[in-house]
Amino acid sequence: MNTQITLQKATLDTLPAMHRFLTDMSLPVSDLPADVSGFTLAFDDTELVGTAGMEILGPVGLLRSVAVAETHRNQHLGRRLFAAALNHALSQGIREVFLITDSAAEYFEKNGFQRVERSDTPTEIAGTAQFSGLCPSSAVVMRKNL
């Protein structure tokens, strides 16, 4: 494993690799936005080993597709990736970010996110495919103010 991981913005050229990686990580790809410029990818040489995306939905952002290959976990790569996504949100004037997770709530709580009731979710988030169907109704909705 190369210790020098590089981060880069997703592009149309990297989209096929991103689809494969997210599918391998059991994350949804059917609702990825056409514009993936809010997604950051981590590469170990030419191997895609991590992703995180920020989907801008009006006045709020949806953090999504935060995943790190098992071989690269426990190296703070997830934190670097979602920090890049949060920075993208800030650059777009977003001050409130949400996420939906069924497996990583404790991780995100340690990183400043707070659980919110599904009924308190803004309509922009509630209207997403992730909220309404792709993630189970038992999934946790979380918010972070930037």
Tens of pLDDT along 37-89? 999 999 999 999 999 999 999 999 999 999 999 999 999 999 999 999 999 99
pLDDT of residue 3: 62
Domain 5-145: give its CATH code.
3.40.630.30
Q: Is the separation of the CB atoms in 18 and 41 below 8 Å?
A: yes
Residue 1 has pLDDT above 70, yes or no: no
Say what the pLDDT of residue 2 is.
45
Contact present, 63 and 53 (Cβ < 8 Å): yes
Cα separations in angstroms, 47 against 4, 10, 39, 125 = 12, 14, 16, 32
Q: Which whole number is the average pLDDT over 10-22?
A: 95
At 65 the pLDDT is 94
pLDDT score, position 87: 96
What is the spatial distance between Cα 29 and Cα 64, in angstroms, rounded to a whole number? 10
Q: What is the pTM of this model?
A: 0.91
Residue, of 20 and 2, whose pLDDT is higher: 20
Q: pLDDT per residue over 87-125, tens digit each?
A: 999 999 999 999 999 889 999 999 999 999 999 999 999
Domain map (residue ranges) of the chain: 5-145
